[in-house]
Structures are given as C-alpha cells and as structure tokens.
C-alpha cells in the first residue's frame, strides 16, 4: 500500500515536473521569438540581406574590404577563418562597429576532428558506437571552438550505396538507420545540451538531400530517387538529426528528380519546414545558388536567387546572388518581405541560441588545449573500434610478439603521417600523427628487429623497382605486415573513382611478397570500400583501417599484437567487382531473387546452350549476387555464437511495444566486443520493402565462455514506412527478425502485427 502511494506520488511529481519543464521551455522559446522579432523590426533590407550572406575568410587577415562590409552589416557569416585573434577582431567589428551589433557565425568543415584527427566518418561508422562517436564530436567541437569557430558543416549524413563516390568517406555508409543514430550522436556531441555553453558549436546536417545517390558515383551528379525511396532511405537520417535538434542544414549540390536541391521547394518547404517543423536555417553549398543556372533550372543569377530564396535557402555560401538581387526582387514584387523575414529569423534564432549576443568572443585559455591526452585517447579508442578484420586464416593474427624474432613492415602507407589522416582535415596536424611503423616499433621494443621497406613511392606508383628489397626483407622476417590502400587525396569531394581496386601496382606487391613464403598481413587504409578480390587469396590476414586519423598507428598495433581484439563492422558493402555497384544489403527481393539453385556462373554454361535452359535469377553471370563482404561484417579474435531468438509476444497489437531477444555467447578464448545487430523484414506491404533492414544494434563485451541475453525493444513506429500515398504507415502482417553479427545473420524468428 505504502509502495503504491509512493509510486503514485512519484508519478504525479513527474507529471508536474514535465509540465513545469515544458512550460519553462515554452517561455524560453517565446522569449527567443520576442528577441528575434524585435531585432528584425529594427533591421533595414540591406541588413537583412547581410545576415543571409556568408563570405570566405581572408586567411587570417582583416582586410579593409571585409572590415567595411562588416561595419555596413553586409555579412552574417564567415567561413574558413580559424585564426582566433582574427575571429575576435571580426566579431568586434561586427558587434561594436555595425549599427545593430549582430555577431557573426564562423563556419568551418570540422568533419572528423579538428587538430586531433579522428578516423574518417565512414571509419567512425564502423565502430557502431554512438557514445564514442558523440565523444569524438564533442572533442572536435572543443578544439574548433577554441579557434573561434561556432558552426561546423557536419555531420554529413548522405546515405551512399556507391563506393565509387569519393564523398562516401565523409558519410556514415549505406544504411539509413545507422546514419540516423550516429548522425544524431554527432549532433549531440557538437551541440551539447545547450548551444550557449562555451565549447559547443552549431551542427549542420548535410547535404539535403540525395547527394549520396549521384549517378555512377560521379561527384555533383544527377540523382533520380522515387519519393518513397527518398523518404524511406535518404531523408531518414535528416529527420533523426532534426529530432536531435540540429541547428542548421546544408542543401546539396545535386539535382533531385529534375529540381536541384538548392531550389527544391519540396525538400526545404514541404518536408523540412511543414512536415518536420524545422526552426533553424538552411545554408546553400559553396556557390550552389549560382550553379542553379549551370544546372539549367534558372536563366541567370537573379532568377537563381529567386528560386533559392523561394525554396527556403536562408543563407548563401560564397557567392553574392542574394546580395546582388534580393533588393531588386523585393522591389519588383517577386518576393515578399515576409519571406525575407522568415529567412533571417532562422539565422538570428541560431545566433541567439549560441549565446553570441551575450558573448561573441573566444578566450582559448578557458577551453581545453588542442590535442591533449584525453583527446588523443578518444582518437585512439575510435580508431581501434573502427578497425575491421576481414580475413584471418589459421589465426594468423594476433601476432605473438614474444615469438617474433623479426618483422618486415612494408608499404607506402606504413609511415606516412599525412596520408593516415584522410580527407577534409584542414586543421589536422600531421606532426601529431602516430604512424603504424612507429607504433609497431614501440610495441616490439629493441628485442625484435623491424625492417621497414616502403617499396612504392605512393599508393598510386606503378613502378615495381622497390619490390626486390621488400621481398628480401620479407624473406628475412618471421612475418610481413604490408600497409596498402589509397592516399587521402583519392577520396573526398570531387575524388570519385570508376575503378576501386587498390591503385598502382599494390596488388603486384602483394603477389611478390607472397613468394617469400612468410605470413602476409595486409592492413588497408582507404577512404571507401575497395574491391579486394584480387588480393584476398594472397594474404593470410586482412585488416581494414579506413583512414584512421592521428592515433591510427597505436590502434593498429594494438590489434596486430592482440592487446585488443578487432571489433569494427562494415558500414557499407564491399563489392566483389565494381560492376556490381550498387550492391547493398537492404535491397528489394525482386520477382526472381537469385539463389544457389538458379545461379550459374558463365564458365559453367556449355557453348551454344539454349537461352532459357538455365536458372532465372537476378544476378551477374560472372560475379554472382553476393558481395565480397556484407554490411555489418567483421571478424574478431574470438567466435560469437547466437541462439534462442524470441519475440516477447507472437502477436503484437498495433500500438504495443515488444522486444526481440537472443543469446550471444563468446565461444572462443579471448575477451572481445561484439556488435550485435537486429534486422527486420516486412514480408508483405503496399510498397515492396527491403529483404532486411537494420533496426537496432548493441556493442557489448563478453569474456570467454560468457553469454548474454541481448534484447531490442521496438514499437510499431520502428516498423513504419512511407507507402504508396507517401504517408508514414505501419501495416499489420508478418515480419521476420534476425539477430546476429552481420547482415547475413541467419538466426531468425517471425512475429505478427495485428489489429487487436
């Protein structure tokens, strides 16, 4: 009885507190809106347009041109200025010498760390660890904020199913759910709970939307995405970012279904503002308003400005179509002042939320030092958890340091402090990088002889001149670790590739090393999934390290020598050959799904066989239908066994929550982390649904012999999708669920959603 009374009291108290909180939030929001409205009412048209204009910094200089534009209130934001004294001076001019004293947004691409460089975002995604990803973003925010940056152009949450696209490096891979969870974690990391707290910075979810589907992976290219696919796949991470409170979004360069994103009212108006209620602002991409005329959707800059502002682009990056034409458009009556007020209000809201009016200045001494021990530890842990073990024949790894007499370390990426950092690292410092070679030497100490041969000048070199020396070193060693991959410049913006094999003569290098007869361990650093079919049989172990950042070396050494087992899982499918692209796990079933029964390899078809005498299936005659490595895949030094999958109730009401559970057991002899994954399939729906969709994941550590019952809680919302009429629905019916260690998990159960 007493207990009941107590819980009743707690319940009432919680209702009271949440009403109080909501009331508190509401009054805060109302106060913010009042401040925005009051300021707007005092602004001239020119000042409003000024807020909508972002210019590039002048490399640490406060030029006369910049200063006078600031005094005249013609600039709302500056990007790429990271000299803190300059930033403070620019803020001072804006605040003290312009009529209204509106502080500046200082934007920067803080994509995977700042001075301390984390693994590329695609590598971070391999950790399947939102807590760690959040910490990384927090650390990057602190470092960037100490330079006066208050706005990052991250996270990049473009779902991409095309490893040819160079920007897949900046993304979180192929899956909308993983993207949503990790993207939201990054937003929380950058923004914290309160943007006004020093050291937090505004995030920018980009590129809205569809960019990752650029045709053939060529950057900036066309995308054609049916609306339900757009909503079910590409928009989902953006919705998650908006729900996490992201302050801003960036429009994509790409053309979406005939209307470039920068002029796309459906995206900016209907979806973002009307459906999702987004209150922040949208920035164009670099010159993407001007480029509307290059796309051929507008005839000139004036029309481009009209199209962009009408669609809902609040701020123009780098170009001046707003500055040059918005006044004229207002005078001609082609746009209304209410539209401009709405655009400016979005920007002011973010400036107020950042507390810039109260304190526009940065005092680095109040923020943690760059690249401090804690930051390096986060970078190391993230690099560690991003490493994916793809092959490990006869338990080649981990190497037993105690038994090694000598080790050959070969390859162009073994000791390259710059290349291991990856793409988009404006503020990274290669001199901080700990390379694999150094880390290996440190780990092994004096006792083991480490013989290093670079063998190739760069990852692209075609010369085989250095091979002989490398093979000699391999012959003289007990084992060979070869560091291959792509230099950082081969991925990232504009750096798409049509052939995603290891470039240059790296495959030949592997073949030559094979001849040494010594165990060959390949560590691949790259900005994208590569096709590794031509080396996979030539190596004893294969570790995929992405571009692992500042602390890549020690993380790799830890895995090579078994200080820590590998635990990363692939956030994107690795095709067997590039011609399979797009190939991804959450594909549709088709009417003729491929199977071992209907697949025939072209080598097995007799000459002049009749066309229809072979299986009917959706596959390639030469490459089959499976990738080399599937999404979610990654080996460990131990073995995990899955059993006893069950759903909390076989029949689930349309508004009931339920759990899917299974037992996972460490069946090996090493303590290790496993990323347990839950996949679901909706068997029959009003639009065809993927054969599997990731619906949950958990990273957990198990000791040898230890087991754990892992439980995922779902509700009908988690099973919802956009159907034929483009509304979000959950349909009754049967669903399959799998729990396992990759997207090819086969431990399955079935449940039914019913109208009770």
Query: Residue 713 phi/psi, 5° resolution?
Result: -95, 130
**How far is it, in rounded angstroms, from Cα 491 to Cα 121?**
12
Residue 427 touching ligand BGC (CB under 6 A): no
What is the sign, positive or negative, of the torsion defined by CA atoms of 304, 308, 309, 314?
Answer: negative
* Out of 114, 128, 151, 153, the residue judged to bind ligand BGC by CB under 6 A: 153
**How far is it, in rounded angstroms, from Cα 43 to Cα 76?**
13
Q: Which two tokens stand for residue 116?
A: 């301390």
| Rounded least distance, CB 710 to ligand BGC, Å | 37
Q: Which two tokens stand for residue 392?
A: 């490990």
Residue 109 touching ligand BGC (CB under 6 A): yes
Q: Taking CB under 6 A as the rule, which mask of x and - marks residues 201-240 in contact with ligand BGC? A: -----x----------------------------------
633 near 529, Cβ under 8 Å? no
Decide whether 75 or 623 has the Cβ nearer to ligand BGC: 75
Q: Which two tokens stand for residue 466?
A: 């250095």
Residue 493 touching ligand BGC (CB under 6 A): yes
Residue 285 touching ligand BGC (CB under 6 A): yes
What is the sign, positive or negative, of the torsion defined by CA atoms of 651, 652, 654, 660?
Answer: negative
| Rounded least distance, CB 187 to ligand BGC, Å | 16
Pairing of strands 316-317, 77-79: unpaired
**How far is it, in rounded angstroms, from Cα 671 to Cα 673?**
7
Decide whether 109 or 416 has the Cβ nearer to ligand BGC: 109
Decide whether 153 or 642 has the Cβ nearer to ligand BGC: 153
Decide whether 285 or 564 has the Cβ nearer to ligand BGC: 285
Nearest to 480 by CA among 434, 511, 435: 511
Q: Where are the alpha helices (DSSP H) in 515-656?
A: 552-560
477 near 406, Cβ under 8 Å? yes
| Rounded least distance, CB 427 to ligand BGC, Å | 12
Q: Where are the alpha helices (DSSP H) in 192-300?
A: 227-229, 236-243, 265, 291-295
Query: Residue 447 phi/psi, 5° resolution?
Result: -65, -40
| Rounded least distance, CB 13 to ligand BGC, Å | 46
* Residue, CB closest to ligand BGC: 153
| Rounded least distance, CB 111 to ligand BGC, Å | 8
Decide whether 153 or 561 has the Cβ nearer to ligand BGC: 153
Decide whether 16 or 426 has the Cβ nearer to ligand BGC: 426
For residue 209, cis peptide bond before it (omega within 30 degrees of 0): yes
| Rounded least distance, CB 69 to ligand BGC, Å | 20
| Rounded least distance, CB 549 to ligand BGC, Å | 19
751 near 658, Cβ under 8 Å? yes
Residues whose CB is less than 8 angstroms from the CB of residue 483 and which lie 6 or more positions away in sequence, other chains included: 409, 410, 411, 412, 413, 414, 436, 523, 525
Question: 543 to each of 190, 296, 540, 577, 670, how far by Cα in Å?
Answer: 30, 46, 10, 19, 18
Decide whether 494 or 613 has the Cβ nearer to ligand BGC: 494
Residues touching ligand BGC, count (CB under 6 A): 6
Residues whose CB is less than 8 angstroms from the CB of residue 702 and which lie 6 or more positions away in sequence, other chains included: 640, 664, 665, 666, 671, 672, 674, 708
Beta bridge partners of 676: 698
Of 285, 427, 558, 673, the active-site residue reads 285
Residue 658 touching ligand BGC (CB under 6 A): no
The edge-to-edge listing of strands for the beta sheet with 640-647 is 640-647, 658-666, 707-714
| Rounded least distance, CB 79 to ligand BGC, Å | 6
Decide whether 167 or 547 has the Cβ nearer to ligand BGC: 167
| Rounded least distance, CB 219 to ligand BGC, Å | 9
Residue 115 touching ligand BGC (CB under 6 A): no
Pairing of strands 53-56, 316-317: parallel
* Tokens 């500042």, located at residue: 550
149 near 199, Cβ under 8 Å? no
Helix 301-311 / helix 337-353 crossing angle, nearest 10 deg: 60
Q: Taking CB under 6 A as the rule, which mask of x and - marks residues 329-358 in contact with ligand BGC? A: ------------------------------
Decide whether 109 or 486 has the Cβ nearer to ligand BGC: 109
| Rounded least distance, CB 712 to ligand BGC, Å | 34
| Rounded least distance, CB 553 to ligand BGC, Å | 28
* Tokens 């757009």, located at residue: 230
In the region spanning residues 611 to 630, those forming contacts with ligand BGC, defined by CB under 6 A, are: none
Residues whose CB is less than 8 angstroms from the CB of residue 230 and which lie 6 or more positions away in sequence, other chains included: 209, 210, 256
Decide whether 232 or 284 has the Cβ nearer to ligand BGC: 284
In the region spanning residues 38 to 67, those forming contacts with ligand BGC, defined by CB under 6 A, are: none
119 near 383, Cβ under 8 Å? yes
Decide whether 285 or 427 has the Cβ nearer to ligand BGC: 285
| Rounded least distance, CB 109 to ligand BGC, Å | 5
N residues, the chain: 756
CB atoms within 10 A of CB 705: 11
**How far is it, in rounded angstroms, from Cα 522 to Cα 491?**
20
Q: Which two tokens stand for residue 107?
A: 């934007």
The verdict on whether 622 is a catalytic residue reads: no
**How far is it, in rounded angstroms, from Cα 301 to Cα 290?**
6
* Out of 114, 190, 278, 286, the residue judged to bind ligand BGC by CB under 6 A: 286
Query: Residue 501 phi/psi, 5° resolution?
Result: -75, 170
Residue 151 touching ligand BGC (CB under 6 A): no
Decide whether 206 or 495 has the Cβ nearer to ligand BGC: 206
What is the set of active-site residues?
A: 285
Residue ranges in contact with ligand BGC by CB under 6 A = 109, 153, 206, 285-286, 493
């Amino acid at each position: 009885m007493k207990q009941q009374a107590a819980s009743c009291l707690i319940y009432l108290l919680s209702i009271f507190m949440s009403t109080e909180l909501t009331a508190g939030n509401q009054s805060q929001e109302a106060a913010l809106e009042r401040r925005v409205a009051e300021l707007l009412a005092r602004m001239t048209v020119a000042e409003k347009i000024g807020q909508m204009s972002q210019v590039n910094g002048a490399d640490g200089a406060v030029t006369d041109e910049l200063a006078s534009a600031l005094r005249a209130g013609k600039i709302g934001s500056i990007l790429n200025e990271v000299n803190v004294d300059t930033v403070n001076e620019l803020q001072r001019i804006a605040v003290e010498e312009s009529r209204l004293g509106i502080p500046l947004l200082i934007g920067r691409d803080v994509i995977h760390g700042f001075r301390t460089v984390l693994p590329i975002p695609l590598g971070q995604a391999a950790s399947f660890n939102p807590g760690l990803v959040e910490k990384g973003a927090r650390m990057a925010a602190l470092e960037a904020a100490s330079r006066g940056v208050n706005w990052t152009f991250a996270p990049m949450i473009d779902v991409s199913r095309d490893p040819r696209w160079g920007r897949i490096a900046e993304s979180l891979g192929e899956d909308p759910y993983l993207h949503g969870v990790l993207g939201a974690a990054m937003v929380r990391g950058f923004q914290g709970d309160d943007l006004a707290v020093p050291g937090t910075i505004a995030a920018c979810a980009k590129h809205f939307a569809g960019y990752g589907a650029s045709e053939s992976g060529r950057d900036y290219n066309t995308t054609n995405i049916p609306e339900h696919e757009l909503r079910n796949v590409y928009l989902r991470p953006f919705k998650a970012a908006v729900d996490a409170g992201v302050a801003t979004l960036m429009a994509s360069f790409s053309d979406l279904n005939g209307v470039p994103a920068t002029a796309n009212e459906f995206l900016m108006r209907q979806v973002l503002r009307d459906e999702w209620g987004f209150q922040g602002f949208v920035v164009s991409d670099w010159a993407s308003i001007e480029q509307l005329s290059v796309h051929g959707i507008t005839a000139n800059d004036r029309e481009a400005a009209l199209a962009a502002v009408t669609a809902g682009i609040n701020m123009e990056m780098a170009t001046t179509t707003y500055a040059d034409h918005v006044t004229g458009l207002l005078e001609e009556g082609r746009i209304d002042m209410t539209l401009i007020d709405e655009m400016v209000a979005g920007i002011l809201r973010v400036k107020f939320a950042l507390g810039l009016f109260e304190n526009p200045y940065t005092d680095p001494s109040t923020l943690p030092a760059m690249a401090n021990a804690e930051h390096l530890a986060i970078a190391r842990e993230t690099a560690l958890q991003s490493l994916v073990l793809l092959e490990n024949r006869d338990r080649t790894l981990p190497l037993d340091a105690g038994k090694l007499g000598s080790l050959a370390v070969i390859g162009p990426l073994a000791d390259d402090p710059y290349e291991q950092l990856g793409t988009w690292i404006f503020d990274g410092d290669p001199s901080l990088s700990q390379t694999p070679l150094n880390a290996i030497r440190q780990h092994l100490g004096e006792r083991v002889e480490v013989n290093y041969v670079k063998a190739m000048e760069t990852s692209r070199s075609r010369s085989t001149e250095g091979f002989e020396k490398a093979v000699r070193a391999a012959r003289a060693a007990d084992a060979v670790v070869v560091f291959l991959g792509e230099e950082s410049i081969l991925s990232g913006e504009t750096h798409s590739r049509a052939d995603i094999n290891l470039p240059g003569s790296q495959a030949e290098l592997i073949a030559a090393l094979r001849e040494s007869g010594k165990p060959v361990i390949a560590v691949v650093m790259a900005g994208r999934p590569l096709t590794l079919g031509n080396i996979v049989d030539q190596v004893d172990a294969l570790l995929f390290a992405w571009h692992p950042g500042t602390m890549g070396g020690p993380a790799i050494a830890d895995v090579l020598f078994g200080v820590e087992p590998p635990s990363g899982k692939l956030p994107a499918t690795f095709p067997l050959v590039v011609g399979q692209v797009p190939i991804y796990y959450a594909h549709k079933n088709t009417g003729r799904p491929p199977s071992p029964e209907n697949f025939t390899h072209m080598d097995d078809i007799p000459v002049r066989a009749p066309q229809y005498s072979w299986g009917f299936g959706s596959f390639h005659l030469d490459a089959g239908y499976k990738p080399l490595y599937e999404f979610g895949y990654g080996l460990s030094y131990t073995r995990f066994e899955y059993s006893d999958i069950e759903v909390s109730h076989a029949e689930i009401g349309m508004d009931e929550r339920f759990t899917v559970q299974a037992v996972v057991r460490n069946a090996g002899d090493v303590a290790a982390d496993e990323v347990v994954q839950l996949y679901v399939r909706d068997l029959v729906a009003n639009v065809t649904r993927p054969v599997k969709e990731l619906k949950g994941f958990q990273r957990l550590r198990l000791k040898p012999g230890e087991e754990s019952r892992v439980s995922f809680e779902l509700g009908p919302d988690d099973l919802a999708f956009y159907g034929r009429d483009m509304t979000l629905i959950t349909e009754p019916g049967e669903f399959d669920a799998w729990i396992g260690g990759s997207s090819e998990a086969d431990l399955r159960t079935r449940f039914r959603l019913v109208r009770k």
